[in-house]
Amino acid sequence: MRCPYCGNEDTQVKDSRPTDDGTAIRRRRVCTACGGRFTTFERVQLRELTVVKRSGRRVPFDRDKLVRSVQIALRKRPVEPERVERMVSGIVRQLESAGEPEVPAERIGELVMEGLKNLDDVAYVRFASVYRDFSEAKDFSSVIHELAGDLPRRGD
């Protein structure tokens, strides 16, 4: 594992333990060259997934890209990182356990929308605006009304 501080490839593992949700191994590492300490997370990948884009193009599934997309939607929102990690891990588990090596991009988008709907309303609307390619203000209105139908009314 390459040191993020000096780039040295000779690092030592000082501690390993499973994450709280059990989906990864947390490793504390020390660089033998500069003494820098850092943490890595290793996950078991059940199978190689390929994402089929709307254009028909096929690309390898990238968990980090999924995390970045979710983080953009959640920017400046009061959501704990652990909840985000649980949501992303759940999406990846669903995709891997489906048994299909190729996953339509639309399926991933729907799973993210479902997860964000349960996590944060504002992030849900933000993600929906990009995912559904909003072009007019009424597009926002329809999603907000759709969301409002799922929410209990104030005072109920």
Instruction: Work out the burial of residue 118: count CB atoms within 10 Å of its CB; fewer than 13 is exposed, 13-18 middle, 19 or more buried.
Output: exposed
Do residues 51 and 61 lie in contact, with contact meaning Cβ atoms separated by under 8 Å?
yes
**pLDDT at residue 154, rounded to an integer:** 43
pLDDT digits (tens, 9 = 90+) for 114-125: 999 889 989 988
Whole-angstrom Cα distance, residue 92 to residue 58?
18
Pick out the chain residues at pLDDT < 70.
44-47, 150-156
Nearest Cα to Cα of residue 49 among 104, 86, 89: 104
Q: Does the pTM of the predicted model rise above 0.85?
A: no
Q: Where are the domains of the chain?
A: 6-44, 45-150
Residues 6+ apart with CB under 8 A from 44: none
Whole-angstrom Cα distance, residue 79 to residue 117?
13
Whole-angstrom Cα distance, residue 3 to residue 26?
16
